[in-house]
Structure 1
Amino acid sequence: MSSGTNLVADGVDTAKRRLMQSLPDGVKRRLVGPYNHVLTTKANREYRRRQQTLPSRTAANDAPDHVVCVVVDALRADAVTPEDSPFLHARLHRDLTTPAPWTFPAVSSLVTGEYPHEHGAIRQTDDSDTGATDLVIPPKLPDERATLSDVFGSAGYDTYGGFAFHMPFFAIGGRFGSHAVYDKADADELLRDYREWLTGDERDRTFSYLHLGDLHEPVDPPASYWDRYDVDRRISNITTWDYTDVADPGPAGERYREHRKRLYRAALAAVDDRLERLHADLSRELDGDVAFVVTGDHGEAFWEHAAFDAAHFADSRPAYCVDHGGTPYESLTRVPLVVDGVALDSDDEGLASLVDLAPTLLDTVGLADAMATTGVSLRDGVPANRIALVESARYGHEKKAASLGDWKLVVSRGDDESVGFRLPEETPTDLPTDVERRLTESLPAWPNGERADVRVSGMAQERLEDLGYV
């Protein structure tokens, strides 16, 4: 077992978990700081060890001096609008298809440029109760697998990973020179600490990964944004997900849904303001060029296909077409790509994927050949016949999706379902025979249980339970 896996799995025996659960909440909260310090110290050490094994590289002379990659957790593509996020919208380049509908496999794909079935950080069984009662996560990336930040580090960039909560850290912790992980930080706290790191020492070149959690439950933006979007705080469980009956939620359920959507928009407006301020600070304070990229790891579902989902697919929560981690509908799989300071092709018609981000950033700094990827550089464009894949659902049976142009196929072997959709409306339909054949043949193999999922430690489970993971 690698040292990176130990960061998550250490202390997973039943006795230790029961001991952690028995502690008073106040004691648990006091332990979070030391726990995070241990995690980041180990992760920094792991990165230094890995860097000693990598060849030294040289970035292009005209490479940006600072590359900032911001991932807004649960940011769906159609949420980026002039009304709610004018800063992001003004720099919106296109949509991307995420390779997974939840954080762990998705960010592993982002930093490797590979699909989950290729890099291995993917669910290991097809059991229908996955994620329902206990917290397990996929295996971490293999120690020998280089990532985006590893390559930047080998080219002389100081690297930083800031994680608003633990799940993305569990996936890619150990891949940065400096780590900051929080219990559930808002954008203000995470970005403040990042600015201190960035300006605290003489750093000629930096690569930064900033994972914001403001759109992930519990959603609680500053009070002025609640007021701006007229969100009713009196509604029960409004900051979290309330899985009301999907067919007929009733008047109270409909009111909850309406105000839950308002709260999501309010939180995004707050994030947009913070990212606009960060962008201005970087432009003013840093010497050299800055490449600034914002995307999502996955989207967020708001009951768009709730009745259809309940009729066709098992969900172990159950929560049909809501939150993330479930059936890969467009609300979950389409994320935005916002760029500033990066020249990208604007004429291609193919489906771009989050696996394209790593090769694109490496191409931007002249290191395109430093890491083998399935993704392609968006500086060159995406082939029109490109099939985009999604896999590694968190809840229920495994569900995979393949998309080509205006057609999409969602398949669940455990549910014995194969459903075609017409995009962009995502209307269920029969697919043309040749398209269905191509999409079916493109789907990777189903999990077979040959490797085991990872059971997280008692402290880790406490942290993630508060975020709605079980």
Structure 2
Amino acid sequence: MSTPPNIVLVVMDTARFREVVALDRYIDRSAIHRLSDEGSTYTRTFTTAPWTLPSHASLFTGTYPSKHGAHADHKHLDESLETVAETFAANGYETVGVSNNTWISEEFGFRRGFDTFHKTWQYIQTDTDLGEVARTTNGLEMFPALARRLIEGNPVVNIANAVYGRFLRKRRDDGARRTNEWVERWLGERHDRPFFLFINYLEPHLEYRPPKSIATQFLPEEISYAEAMDISQNAWEYIAGRTDHSEQQFEALRALYFAEIAYLNRRIGDLRESLVDADEWDDTIFVLTSDHGENIGEHDLMDHQYCLYDTLLHVPLIIAGGSFDGGGEIDELVQTTDIPPTLLDAAGIDADEVRSQFQGRSFHPDAETSARKHVISEYMAPQPSMDALDEQLDGLTSTARQYDRSLRAIRTEQYKLIRGSDGSMELYDIVDDPNESVDVASDRSDRSRHLEKELDQWLDSFEHANASGAVSMSERTKSRLEELGYIQ
């Protein structure tokens, strides 16, 4: 590429590695595996955190939660670190973000650096959102609630968003189709300069509501689509011991989850075609990854909280275009913090100052960097907190209380150590036990001590963020997060 390439960074929210890889067994020449065949597939890529806000903060800044300070006890990406969008903007790129996840918005610090930032939950982009009122009130109660909210901004815009949020927003999917339609329009109108495009697709996130035509391909024969959709997807009630699931029910939920990824695969193919039709594909570096995975009964958990097992940390990473084409499968350890410096290398951007903040290392094919010896992940505080769960569920069992802790993990080629603030220590031989089912910490204490020392040395090697304390958010944002299953 003689001119700076476009950069497209796509996050499949909540897509774990194993299902993305499995697509190829069920879908002939899937869009995702077409990318994989053409580009480079990094088969051992791990995120820095098991949920959206801290993992995206790492992806945007090239730093770990301990350094960027965005986590459950401080739900905001503060301005102390430069984001990759700011870096691309400062180097002549048009920067565009499209988010389907409420966490990834200006309210939590993720708008910085984007010339344009589109939130798919709003029909007309505004800071005032009547969609929350329309979604959470009914009948005659809606009208006084709408009237009160009207005075917060433009009445016409507010009413349009209210109607959109109530009647139109979720008719077809969780935003992927609308995202692609918006991107296609933008591609036809955009400025004539290279662009950095970030997209967060939400489909694999709870609740799983895939199209029936896709889901029935993967459901067990003895479970109908209607029966599968009736299975409780309330992760917090399951974790608290209020509901129980049979293995057959979990099998059905995993099928629904897989169907969401299969559906998203189609939309990713459509995105590619839009870039091709706009004559941009040949000038584009296309990055496909995830922010974290999911537990669907594994480790007696649902959703993506309270642990640092590979069900949450092992994510897909495929890069096509430029020097990445023809790279095949690469099995070296990669961390999502490594993506920002790699993208700057792909764009030919020096940016020495922002590179000095990165804790990641470039894995660009032309980069002269050594392979990683380990990857590290952090869970700085439980989300939701035990107090929030207790209030929501009117009491918790001692089993649920065990999750009231922070966690850190260090993973090498063979071993993974997980250390909790409660004094817990787990060690897994992930070569012999990839499902992390047998804790060998007591049998291999020397290995545990060695990895713990490496983890402590890493923690001592940089300055930690001072960010702490609750961050205020609007009631409409709280409501939207509750729709995604988050408890504040």
The corresponding residue for 1:292 is: 286
4+ residue runs over 6 A deviation:
245-250, 345-348, 445-450
Residue among 310, 313, 335 paired with 1:330: 310
Deviation (angstroms), 1:239:
7.5
The corresponding residue for 2:362 is: 377
Q: Give the TM-score, by structure 2 length.
A: 0.71
Counterpart CA distance in 2 for 1:236 and 1:269 is: 17
Task: Give the 3-state SS of the residue equivalent to 1:391 in structure 2.
Answer: strand
Counterpart CA distance in 2 for 1:224 and 1:337 is: 28
Determine whether 1:260 maps to 2:253: yes
The corresponding residue for 1:386 is: 373
Contact 2:92 2:193 in 1 (8 A): no
Counterpart CA distance in 2 for 1:374 and 1:440 is: 14
Determine whether 1:433 maps to 2:446: yes
Q: Which moved more, 1:76-85 or 1:92-101?
A: 76-85
In structure 2, relative to structure 1, the CA distance for the partners of 1:175 and 1:218 (3 Å cut) is: farther
Counterpart CA distance in 1 for 2:104 and 2:420 is: 26
The corresponding residue for 2:475 is: 458
* Equivalent AA in structure 1 for residue 251 of structure 2: E
Contact 1:84 1:269 in 2 (8 A): no
Deviation (angstroms), 1:171:
4.5
Counterpart CA distance in 2 for 1:407 and 1:324 is: 22
The corresponding residue for 1:189 is: 178
* Equivalent AA in structure 2 for residue 115 of structure 1: Y
The corresponding residue for 1:403 is: 411
Residue-by-residue CA offset, 1:192-244 (whole Å, 9 max, x unaligned): 11111121234331110000000111222223212332453234654834544
RMSD: 2.9
Counterpart CA distance in 1 for 2:272 and 2:232 is: 28
* Equivalent AA in structure 2 for residue 436 of structure 1: L
Determine whether 1:67 maps to 2:54: no
Residue-by-residue CA offset, 1:363-392 (whole Å, 9 max, x unaligned): 001114442211111113763452211113
Residue-by-residue CA offset, 1:304-333 (whole Å, 9 max, x unaligned): 222xxxxxxxxxxxxxx3210220100100
The corresponding residue for 2:62 is: 113
In structure 2, relative to structure 1, the CA distance for the partners of 1:90 and 1:442 (3 Å cut) is: farther
In structure 2, relative to structure 1, the CA distance for the partners of 1:116 and 1:301 (3 Å cut) is: same
Residue among 18, 27, 46 paired with 1:78: 18
Q: How many matched pairs?
A: 381
In structure 2, relative to structure 1, the CA distance for the partners of 1:348 and 1:255 (3 Å cut) is: closer
* Equivalent AA in structure 1 for residue 446 of structure 2: T
Q: Aligned ranges for residues 64-213 of structure 1 at < 5 Å?
A: 64=5, 66-80=6-20, 81=22, 82-84=24-26, 86-92=30-36, 93-94=41-42, 95-124=44-73, 137-142=74-79, 144-169=80-105, 170-183=108-121, 185-213=174-202
Structure 2: gaps spanning 5 or more residues: 122-169, 384-403
Counterpart CA distance in 1 for 2:179 and 2:87 is: 24
Determine whether 1:225 maps to 2:214: yes
Deviation (angstroms), 1:256:
2.2
Determine whether 1:340 maps to 2:340: no
Counterpart CA distance in 1 for 2:307 and 2:31 is: 30
The corresponding residue for 2:297 is: 303
Determine whether 1:356 maps to 2:338: yes
Q: Percent sequence identity over matched residues?
A: 25
Counterpart CA distance in 2 for 1:154 and 1:450 is: 26
Task: Give the 3-state SS of the residue equivalent to 1:196 in structure 2.
Answer: helix
* Equivalent AA in structure 1 for residue 182 of structure 2: D
Counterpart CA distance in 2 for 1:385 and 1:112 is: 19
* Equivalent AA in structure 1 for residue 119 of structure 2: V
Q: Give the TM-score, by structure 1 length.
A: 0.74
* Equivalent AA in structure 1 for residue 252 of structure 2: H
